Structure 1
């Protein structure tokens, strides 16, 4: 389902076929890391993961390291709209981060 939502989002952009859902880490005011999502083309150093359905996920290096043991899912929010969710992959408990 996540691939379908990503394809819908990137399909709205007619700029280029290289557009994907890009994850980047950003520090907030409390020096805590937060994930930022945007529709973007990859830049040098980014890791690109393409799903069989054609969806592209682009991760800047720090985000790729953070997301290494995670899986991307889509759930519905309270209003029935799709919302991305990141969860730890099953079988990863006790693994070093």
Structure 2
């Protein structure tokens, strides 16, 4: 299962606090099947895996959950306030 770093859980919780319509992030496979998107979400889709960690929620669609099963999601906010995410291999 995808693991989340403390940075990501903090980002998700802050987004949910600042924007009431956002309760989670959703990671989904793009139409091309080759790339992933990360977007704010207010609910899980029927086939989503729900990851709850340290008060943060991330929804992952079926195809993405297979690819991400041995990964860790990290994130940060740059000087301009842009959120950036990165994937790494779980230890």
- With the length of structure 1 as denominator, give the TM-score of the two structures: 0.72
Alpha carbon RMSD of aligned pairs, Å? 2.0
Structure 2: gaps (5+ residues): 1-6
Unaligned 5+ segments in structure 1 are 91-97
More helix by share: 2
Deviations along 1:12-34, whole A, 9 cap, x unmatched? 22237xx2110000134xxx511
**Equivalent residue number for residue 58 of structure 2:** 57
Structure 1 residue ranges, 4+ long, deviating more than 3 angstroms after superposition: 79-82
Cα displacement (A) at 1:86: 0.8
Q: Give the equivalent residue in structure 2 for 1:33.
A: 34
Q: Retained in 2: the 8 A contact 1:10–1:21?
A: no
Larger RCO (CA within 8 A; separation ≥ 6): 2
Deviation string for 1:31-86 (max 9, x for gaps)?
Answer: x511111111101111111112x110100101111110100112455x47442111
| 1:2 maps to which of 2, 5, 8 | 8
What is the aligned residue count? 83
